Structures are given as C-alpha cells and as structure tokens.
C-alpha cells in the first residue's frame, strides 16, 4: 500500500481502536511521514479552493446574488471534497503536534531514569 497522509491517519486510527495505545516509535514515524506528505494535500486543497472560487464567479456572472452563488457552490461535490480535505489536513497537523509533544515527554521520562 502506498503511503499517503490519508492512509497513515487510517493506520493510526486502526491502531488506536484496536490497542488503545500507539507505540512511540510508530507514532513518531507516522508524524514524520505525515508532515512530508501533507505538502501534496495542502497544494491539492489550494487547487480545489481555486476551482470553487471560479465556480462561484461563474454563478455571479450568470446573475446570481452572492448569497445564491454561495449556496450553490456549497452544495457541490467539489466543495464537500475541499472541506473533507481541510479536515484531514487539520487532523494530520494535530497528530504531528501531538507526536512532538509525546516524544518530548518520552525523552523527559527517559532522562529521569
């Protein structure tokens, strides 16, 4: 299976639901991979947001009000895809931050012994 941000998050979710704990090494490895792979996802989100703005402009050019154009855009699959991608990116960034914090705590515990 190819490593993608989405697949790494899925593996972490599976580990968390089965064991309850995620091995520190696995957690840190996943965080490092996520951080690298997120670049592609963030670029894809920018492209989707641009496509959404183009679509909104098309509705406005056809004479729709700003509110009507916004409602029409927000009911498209493109908009839903962008929102889901945004949530996934935010989740991945949270996981990376948690991994950093977790590794700091682990190092502190190791030094204390």
Which pLDDT tens digit goes with each residue over 17-61? Answer: 886 677 777 778 888 888 889 999 999 999 999 999 999 999 999
Q: What is the mean pLDDT of residues 50-74?
A: 97
Kindly state whether residue 72 falls inside one of the protein's structural domains.
Answer: yes
SS3 for 16-56 is HHHCCCCCHHHHHHHHHHHHHHHHHHHHHHHHHHHHHHHHH
pTM score of the predicted model: 0.79
Quote the pLDDT of residue 9: 87
In Å, how far from its chain's centre is CA 38?
A: 7
Kindly state whether residue 61 falls inside one of the protein's structural domains.
Answer: yes
Kindly state whether residue 17 falls inside one of the protein's structural domains.
Answer: no
Boundaries of domain holding 32? 5-11+27-112
**The pLDDT of residue 106 is above 90:** no
Q: What is the mean pLDDT of residues 85-110?
A: 81
Kindly state whether residue 37 falls inside one of the protein's structural domains.
Answer: yes
Kindly state whether residue 22 falls inside one of the protein's structural domains.
Answer: no
Tell me how far apart the alpha carbons of residues 71 and 99 are, in angstroms, rounded to a whole number.
38
Kindly state whether residue 63 falls inside one of the protein's structural domains.
Answer: yes
Kindly state whether residue 76 falls inside one of the protein's structural domains.
Answer: yes
Share of the chain above pLDDT 70, in %: 87
Q: Between these two residues, 28 and 77, which has the higher pLDDT value?
A: 77
Q: Which helix (H) or strand (E) holds 22?
A: none
Kindly state whether residue 19 falls inside one of the protein's structural domains.
Answer: no
**The pLDDT of residue 110 is above 70:** no
Q: How many domains does the chain have?
A: 1
């Amino acid at each position: 299976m190819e490593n993608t941000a989405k697949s790494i998050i899925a593996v972490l979710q599976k580990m968390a639901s089965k064991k309850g704990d995620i091995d520190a090494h696995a957690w840190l490895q996943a965080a490092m991979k996520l951080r690298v792979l997120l670049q592609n996802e963030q670029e894809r989100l920018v492209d989707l947001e641009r496509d959404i703005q183009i679509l909104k402009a098309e509705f406005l050019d056809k004479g729709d009000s700003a509110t009507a154009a916004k409602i029409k855009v927000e009911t498209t699959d493109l908009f839903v895809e962008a929102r889901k991608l945004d949530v996934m990116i935010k989740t991945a960034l949270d996981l990376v931050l948690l991994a950093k914090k977790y590794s700091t705590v682990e190092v502190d515990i190791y030094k204390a012994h």
